[in-house]
């Protein structure tokens, strides 16, 4: 089925076009992004249940971007009457002029930027999906989640709680300028089984997720997911602390994705190049990894929860090869950073929602698959760990440091898993050293899109990452 475009957005389109025409009388460039995304979050545990008609991506509102005298200004609002476009334009001009008074009063200099181009372009996309959140039987979904939760706690007395959650959003966005009319509609969902347990004084958790650019039917796999979560929890509860040091490691695809995201995902967001905040700018066409490292980034790279048709600045989605056989080729770029750097935008200008500024952000960040098998890779390790699952990661684009808090490591001695588990594992290091140490990559290729990504410590957007199993050398603590 097709994810139908929002009737609400269709209904205000003429009013928004009139607003653009009014603002064009005062500004050299005007665009409006309008959004109407609906969805739900359902969560069920042994002790509580909830249904909320919202997700991290539900929203309804507009953001106007205007340009004059080298400066871009924005006004985000959600009270819009299409029959009063002229009055809205006057209100916007008045408040933005008031901001200019502050700029003048503080003798602030403007970072002079060129005007965005505005060629004629039309696009109307209703993406295919199996189900949509609006038509979901929430009663049946709560019941299904309850059964999964009940099964989770039935596995062992050590399981204190089993939380099952799912979010599904029907995303509709409309980007209009004087000459552009882009409209897209798609559905994205993600969910999880989160288990908490205790063994003696030791408490621990396990989290297994699922995501896709599909509807709530993706939660059907939870009957298997809950078994994986229980195994992971058992492994964590039986774990010990790792002896800090440098080890050979095999990363599962989910950890590979975390490395892709934190190592060279943030490191080549080119709005950071404008601010001289990323070391990557100095390494274009230079070696940053081994020959086995090829990394793609873009909304069209895979089909998952961050695979859209155009970004929040009206740039069509793309597929950028960031690293090719270990050589850094290019980064990803939003529209304004592209103007400042003199390059083309890559379709990575994203906002947390209409209220937030657009930054260069990741979509799908994926390492390419290789030729080895997981078994061959484990057999090649003398002493090290198979790293699986994660709690968090943090980037450091200026210095290429990386911090990944991995959920657990399975000890490998002389090519065999010993059964010993360590948890949690803090993996740190210098990105080119880590990527340069990659000596094997598997044939597997998986994407993961259950998390949200921040820029610094704010601006949360949906991102996806992944790839194959990797063999590398890393510092663990």
Among 26, 324, 428, 450, binds another protein (CB under 8 A): 428
Q: Is 10 in the site for another protein (CB under 8 A)?
A: no
- DSSP state, 139? H
- Residue 377, φ and ψ in degrees, nearest 5: -70, -45
Q: Is 81 in the site for another protein (CB under 8 A)?
A: yes
Give the Å distances, CA to CA, from 139 to 42, 109, 220, 273: 10, 57, 15, 49
Site string for another protein, 38-57 (x = CB under 8 A): -------x-xxxxxxxx---
Among residues 61, 60, 59, 56, the alpha carbon closest in space to that of 167 is found at 56
Among residues 441, 304, 403, the alpha carbon closest in space to that of 362 is found at 304
Report the nearest approach of another protein to the CB of residue 189 (Å): 18
Q: Is 76 in the site for another protein (CB under 8 A)?
A: yes
Report the nearest approach of another protein to the CB of residue 408 (Å): 12
Q: Identify which range of 70-78, 251-259, 309-317, 460-468 contacts another protein by CB under 8 A.
A: 70-78
Among residues 44, 61, 216, the alpha carbon closest in space to that of 129 is found at 216
- Assess contact for 365 and 335: CB atoms under 8 A: no
Question: Which residues, at least 6 apart from 424, have a Cβ–Cβ distance to it below 8 Å?
Answer: 391, 405, 406, 407, 408
Which residue's structure tokens are 């509580």? 48
Q: With residue 41 as reference, give the H or E element that holds it.
A: strand 29-44
Report the nearest approach of another protein to the CB of residue 54 (Å): 6
Q: Is 380 in the site for another protein (CB under 8 A)?
A: no
153-182 positions binding another protein, by CB under 8 A: 160-161
Report the nearest approach of another protein to the CB of residue 38 (Å): 9
Nearer to another protein, 78 or 156 (CB): 78
- Assess contact for 443 and 370: CB atoms under 8 A: yes
84-123 positions binding another protein, by CB under 8 A: 95-96, 98-100, 102-103, 105-106, 108-111
203-222 positions binding another protein, by CB under 8 A: 203-205
Question: Which residues, at least 6 apart from 201, have a Cβ–Cβ distance to it below 8 Å?
Answer: none
Nearer to another protein, 355 or 376 (CB): 355
397-426 positions binding another protein, by CB under 8 A: 398-399, 401-403, 405, 424, 426
228-257 positions binding another protein, by CB under 8 A: 241, 244-245
Q: Is 445 in the site for another protein (CB under 8 A)?
A: no
Among residues 168, 135, 132, 175, the alpha carbon closest in space to that of 35 is found at 175
Q: Identify which range of 77-85, 125-133, 327-335, 441-449 contacts another protein by CB under 8 A.
A: 77-85
Q: Identify which range of 79-87, 168-176, 180-188, 300-308 contacts another protein by CB under 8 A.
A: 79-87
Nearer to another protein, 159 or 412 (CB): 159
For the record, the structure tokens of 126 come out as 């209703």
317-346 positions binding another protein, by CB under 8 A: 336
* Measured distance CA(270)–CA(469) in Å, rounded: 28
Report the nearest approach of another protein to the CB of residue 6 (Å): 12
Burial of 206 (0-12, 13-18, 19+ CB in 10 A): buried
Report the nearest approach of another protein to the CB of residue 102 (Å): 5
Report the nearest approach of another protein to the CB of residue 444 (Å): 28
Q: Is 352 in the site for another protein (CB under 8 A)?
A: no
Nearer to another protein, 48 or 120 (CB): 48
Which residue's structure tokens are 């009270």? 79
Nearer to another protein, 161 or 368 (CB): 161
Nearer to another protein, 31 or 45 (CB): 45
Q: Is 124 in the site for another protein (CB under 8 A)?
A: no
**What is the total count of residues that contact another protein (CB under 8 A)?**
78
Among residues 51, 225, 204, the alpha carbon closest in space to that of 148 is found at 225
Q: Is 282 in the site for another protein (CB under 8 A)?
A: no
User: Would you tell me how many other CB atoms lie within 10 Å of the CB of residue 437?
Assistant: 18
Q: Is 388 in the site for another protein (CB under 8 A)?
A: no
Question: Residues for the chain: how many in total?
Answer: 477
Report the nearest approach of another protein to the CB of residue 67 (Å): 10
* Measured distance CA(463)–CA(362) in Å, rounded: 6
Q: Identify which range of 184-192, 200-208, 436-444, 460-468 contacts another protein by CB under 8 A.
A: 200-208
Greatest C-alpha distance within the chain: 74
For the record, the structure tokens of 58 come out as 């539900």
- Assess contact for 447 and 367: CB atoms under 8 A: no
Q: Is 11 in the site for another protein (CB under 8 A)?
A: no
Nearer to another protein, 370 or 389 (CB): 389
Among residues 64, 63, 79, 81, the alpha carbon closest in space to that of 24 is found at 64
User: Would you tell me how many other CB atoms lie within 10 Å of the CB of residue 237?
Assistant: 21
């Amino acid at each position: 089925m097709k994810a139908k475009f929002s009737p609400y957005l269709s209904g205000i389109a003429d009013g928004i076009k009139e607003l653009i025409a009014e603002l064009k009388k005062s500004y050299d460039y005007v665009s409006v992004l309008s959004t109407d995304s609906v969805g739900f979050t359902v969560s069920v545990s042994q002790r509580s249940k909830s249904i909320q008609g919202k997700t991290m991506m539900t929203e309804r509102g507009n953001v106007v971007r205007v340009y004059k005298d080298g400066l871009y200004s924005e006004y985000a609002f959600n009270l819009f009457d299409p029959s009063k476009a002229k009055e809205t334009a006057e209100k916007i001009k008045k408040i933005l002029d008031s901001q200019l008074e502050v700029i003048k009063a503080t003798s602030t200099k403007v970072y002079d930027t060129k005007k965005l181009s505005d060629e004629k372009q039309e696009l109307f996309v209703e993406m295919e999906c199996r189900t949509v959140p609006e038509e979901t039987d929430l009663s049946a979904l709560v019941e299904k989640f309850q059964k999964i939760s009940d099964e989770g706690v039935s596995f062992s007395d050590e399981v204190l709680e089993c939380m099952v959650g799912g979010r599904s959003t029907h995303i509709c966005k409309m980007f209009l300028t004087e000459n552009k009319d882009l409209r897209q509609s798609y559905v994205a969902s993600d969910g999880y089984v989160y288990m908490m347990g205790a063994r003696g004084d030791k408490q621990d958790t396990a989290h297994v997720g699922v995501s896709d650019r599909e509807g709530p039917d993706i939660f059907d796999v939870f009957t298997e997911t809950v078994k994986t979560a229980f195994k992971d929890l058992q492994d964590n509860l039986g774990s010990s602390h790792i002896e800090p040091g440098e080890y050979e490691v095999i990363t599962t695809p989910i950890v590979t994705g975390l490395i892709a995201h934190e190592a060279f995902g943030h490191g080549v967001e080119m709005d950071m190049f404008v601010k001289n905040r990323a070391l990557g700018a100095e390494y274009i066409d230079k070696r940053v990894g081994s020959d086995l490292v090829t990394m793609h980034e873009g909304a069209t790279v895979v089909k998952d929860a961050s695979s859209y048709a155009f970004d929040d600045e009206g740039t069509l989605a793309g597929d950028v090869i960031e690293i090719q056989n270990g050589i850094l080729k290019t980064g990803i770029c939003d529209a304004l950073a592209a103007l400042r750097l003199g390059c083309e935008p890559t379709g990575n200008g994203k906002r947390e929602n209409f209220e937030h500024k657009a930054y260069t952000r990741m979509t799908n960040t994926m390492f390419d698959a290789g030729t080895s098998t997981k078994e061959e890779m484990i057999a090649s390790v003398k002493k090290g760990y198979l790293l699986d699952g994660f709690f968090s990661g943090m980037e450091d684009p200026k210095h290429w440091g990386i911090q990944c808090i991995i959920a657990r490591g399975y000890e490998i001695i002389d090519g065999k898993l010993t059964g010993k588990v360590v948890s949690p594992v803090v993996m740190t290091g210098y990105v080119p050293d880590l990527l340069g140490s990659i000596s094997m990559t598997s044939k597997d290729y998986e994407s993961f899109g259950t998390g949200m990504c921040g820029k610094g410590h704010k601006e949360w957007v949906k991102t996806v990452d992944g790839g194959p199993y990797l063999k590398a050398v890393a510092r663990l603590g």
